[in-house]
Every structure is written in C-alpha cells, then in structure tokens.
Amino acid sequence: MSLSKPIYSLVGIYLEQLFNHPVRTKSITSSILAGSANYTAQRIAGQKVNQESVIAYSLFGLIFGGTVPHYFYRTVERLFNHDMKFRRFFQFLSERLVFAPFYQLLSLYFLSIFEMNSHEVAVANLKKLYWPLLRTNWQYLSIPVFLNMAFVPPMLRTVTMSIVSFIWVVYMARRRRRLQEKSTGDSDKKGNQ
C-alpha cells in the first residue's frame, strides 16, 4: 500500500504536466522512450553500446517524437468531427496512409543525420529501408493504432503510441544496424579485392 501512493503521485504529476504542457511533456517522454529503445536494441544484439546512436534516437524523440504526433492527432480530431459516421475508421485510415509513411520517412532520414551521416548516406539508407519497414509497420502496428484511435482519449494517444513505439524502435534500430553492418562488410570486401 505504501508504494502505491508515490506511484499515484507521479502519475498525477505526469498527467498534470501533460494537460498543462502537452507538447513538452510528450517530447520528453518520447525522447526517453526512443533512447531507451535504442539502448535496449543494442543490448539485445550483444553489442557494445553506441552512445551516438542512443543520443540520435533521443534527439529525434525530443524534436519530432512528441510534436509531430501531437499535432497530427489534434488535426485528425478536428477534421473528423464527432457527428461523422465511421469517424474512428477515417482517423485510423489517415494515420495508416498519411501519417505512418510520412513519419517513417522522417525518422529514417533524421536518425541517420543525427548519427552524423551525410545527406547521401541518409538517402541511401532511406532507399534501402523505407519500404520494408513501412510494410512491417502496417503489418504489425495497425491493430495497436486502431485500438489507440478507438479507445484512448486524444490527450493520451501520443503517449500511448510512444510506449507501443518502444517495441517498434527496438525492431527498427536492429534493422538499421544490420544494414550498416552489411554495407560495412560489403565495402571491406571490395577494399580487400
């Protein structure tokens, strides 16, 4: 019983911050979760932790992870008003067909840039990973997105998807790391020939 009081207090403080400062709170939450997910992916892979990559994911979460989803969900709520038939379905479709492709592109490009890669390398990584990751996103994240749109209050949607995105970021970080290792291995083979 004594442990639950501090937890309720922290949740209350968090919800108060979320209500009073939604973008800042969502951005900080997204930053912490994205950096933690990247760290987790590296640890699962048994690698030495690449701090630059953890910082890149945290920076992306801070700059884009709270703001872009916040304004997207807000806009979708306004566009599809309460009187509209199949409102949640249209919100879901807009998330899957507009937001997910845009956000996937944004994340792949800027994560590469934040890891100090050149524009050319970022675009090359984007070309290799965009479609496979987007298809996987549609395949595995559509049900959580639908449940989020249907049952979670608008104020909590970004935070809820940030928590779901923790798993997605672990997957995406591992996939990006494999691509980088493969391209490094391929360039080493060409250099040795």
| Residue 80 Cα distances to 93, 144, 146, 151, 165, angstroms | 11, 20, 15, 16, 24
Cα 138 from chain centroid (whole Å): 14
Tell me how long the chain is.
193
pLDDT at site 124: 93
Cβ neighbours around 117 below 10 Å, total: 17
Element (H, E) at 34: helix 22-44
In the chain (193 residues long), the average pLDDT of successive 10-residue segments reads 73 90 94 92 85 94 94 89 80 94 95 94 92 92 91 87 85 74 65 54
**Longest pairwise C-alpha distance within the chain:** 67
Note whether 65 and 103 are within 8 A (CB).
Answer: no
pLDDT at site 192: 55
Q: For the chain, give every domain's residue range.
A: 4-173
Note whether 126 and 105 are within 8 A (CB).
Answer: yes
pLDDT at site 186: 63
pLDDT at site 85: 76
